Amino acid sequence: MPTTDNVKAGDITKRVGVEVIRARGVDVDKLIKMLVANAAAEFASTYYYYTILRMHLAGHEDYKEICEDARLEDRAHFELITPRIYELGGELPNDLKAFHDMAGCRAAKLPDPPTAVNILTLLLESERCAIRSWIEICDMTIGKDPRTYDMASRILNEEIEHEAWFIELLAFERDGKSVPSGHFRRGEPGHAPYSKNAPFYIGS
């Protein structure tokens, strides 16, 4: 069983919550860097750019609604990740540009031309990058760091849903094909049923 004897009573320079996962084989410094990169991707590179992309889906109110769910859920992911970074002894950069540049996923800039197909393609590839990033953190923490694993797996659930939504929309808009995603309407935009532990929308 991992020991925490190196954390003395009253010591505020060390954290048992960090030492126990370090003793179980987690590279805590690497994990913090990965979480900061994912936080930057969820907020600076995803939430910000998804706002711009949503604004340009003119004439596609159904697409805009689904993009809004993904946009706000990515903001919820940022708010879920940030406390964990500080619990582990890390912090966010005190410089927004530096934070943006740490993002583990490429910024989803508005395409030229900003057609629905081009925007949906960007949204899809952004979600795929997020899935790859969160799978890596799940693999790193499973069986070693229950708190981070639980957080990462809940975020991953929503990122996988987002990918399926954008595959469905892109298949219809670009190829005229039906590729159902199993999409459920959220109770409200950004409900985030996994990362916020909220239920799916149930109509009256």
User: What is the rounded CA–CA span in Å between residue 24 and residue 113?
Assistant: 50
The domain ranges of the chain are 16-175
User: How does pLDDT run along the chain (204 residues), one tens digit per residue?
Assistant: 445 568 788 877 888 989 999 999 999 999 999 999 999 999 987 888 889 999 999 899 999 999 998 999 999 999 999 999 999 999 999 999 999 999 989 888 899 999 999 999 999 999 999 999 999 999 999 999 999 999 999 999 999 999 999 999 999 999 999 999 977 666 666 676 777 655 445 454
Q: What is the CATH architecture assignment of 16-175?
A: Up-down Bundle (1.20)
The contacts of residue 106 (CB under 8 Å, 6+ apart) are 45, 126, 129
Q: Under a CB-based contact definition with an 8 Å cutoff, are residues 74 and 161 in contact?
A: no
Can you tell me which residue has the tokens 């849903």?
A: 161
CB neighbourhood size of 196 (10 A): 15
Contact 96, 44 (CB under 8 A): yes
